Structure 1
Amino acid sequence: MPAADGRFPRTLFSVGGEPDARFSLANERTFLAWIRTGLALLAGGVALEALSLGIHPGFRFAASLLLLVAGLVTPIQAWYGWKRTEAALRTETPLPSAPLTVFLAVVVCAVGALVLLGVLLR
């Protein structure tokens, strides 16, 4: 069915067939989970700076900056991941991977290391 029903983005909904609603809804839940992750990363970055915890200021700032950057990039991953997965569902092709998962794992490890060093070296 073409996207004459007003769904966005039109280019996506005009391709392939209509997938099982359960799969589209699961894709939407995954999108929302990525959004929640981005919000949590942003909140963590703001909290590190706003609460002025007993962490070395340089390490605290670096960890906060990493969290904020990751929090800003994550919603982009959410959108493109949702769109790519929905397209794969509609065209019955293999599901794509999420390219930012390794990036986020590295960022979270780096933040943990920075906070640990910041506490030890204060």
Structure 2
Amino acid sequence: MNGTEPDPRFTLANERTFLTWLSTSLALCAGGVAMAAVADDVFVPWARTVLSVMLVALAALAAGMAYPRWRNIQRALRNQAPLPPPALAAVFGYGVAAVAVVALVLILMTV
């Protein structure tokens, strides 16, 4: 990578953020697998499948975008340029919120 070596604290903070994206991805994937394994009498099968697919898709997106995000931030740090905006933050925020709303509706329907 071109540019000057940034302050190690910033590089390490960027690395911690990268690892957090991977941890988030793992948690979303585990949630998707857990949703798929829910007993048949809890939710209708298509709803479990939709929730599972949404969670695992968010997990794949988080894992797939973690390294490019780390690389872009590291490049900006080295070139003393503005940091790139968190473009996927809205996708994850709204995605997890959508999963929560669908799960809440399904829970209320079974009560």
C-alpha separation between the residues in 2 aligned to 1:86 and 1:115?
37
C-alpha separation between the residues in 2 aligned to 1:114 and 1:63?
8
Identity %: 39
Residue 22 (str. 1) matches residue 5 (str. 2): no
C-alpha separation between the residues in 1 aligned to 2:44 and 2:101?
13
Residue aligning to 1:77: 65
1:121 deviates by 2.7
**Larger RCO (CA under 8 A, 6+ residues apart):** 2
Bigger-Rg structure (1/2): 1
Does the 8 Å CA contact 2:38/2:48 hold for their aligned counterparts?
A: no
Q: Could you state the TM-score of these two structures normalised by the residue count of structure 1?
A: 0.83
Aligned AA (2:57):
V
Residue aligning to 2:90: 102
Match of 1:42 among 29, 39, 44: 29
Q: What's the C-alpha RMSD, in Å, of the aligned pairs?
A: 1.3
Gaps of 5+ in 1: 1-12
Aligned AA (2:15):
E
Residue aligning to 1:56: 44
Count of matched residue positions in the alignment of Structure 1 and Structure 2: 109
C-alpha separation between the residues in 2 aligned to 1:95 and 1:117?
39
Residue aligning to 1:10: none
C-alpha separation between the residues in 2 aligned to 1:97 and 1:36?
21
**SS where residue 81 of structure 2 aligns?**
coil
1:98 deviates by 1.8
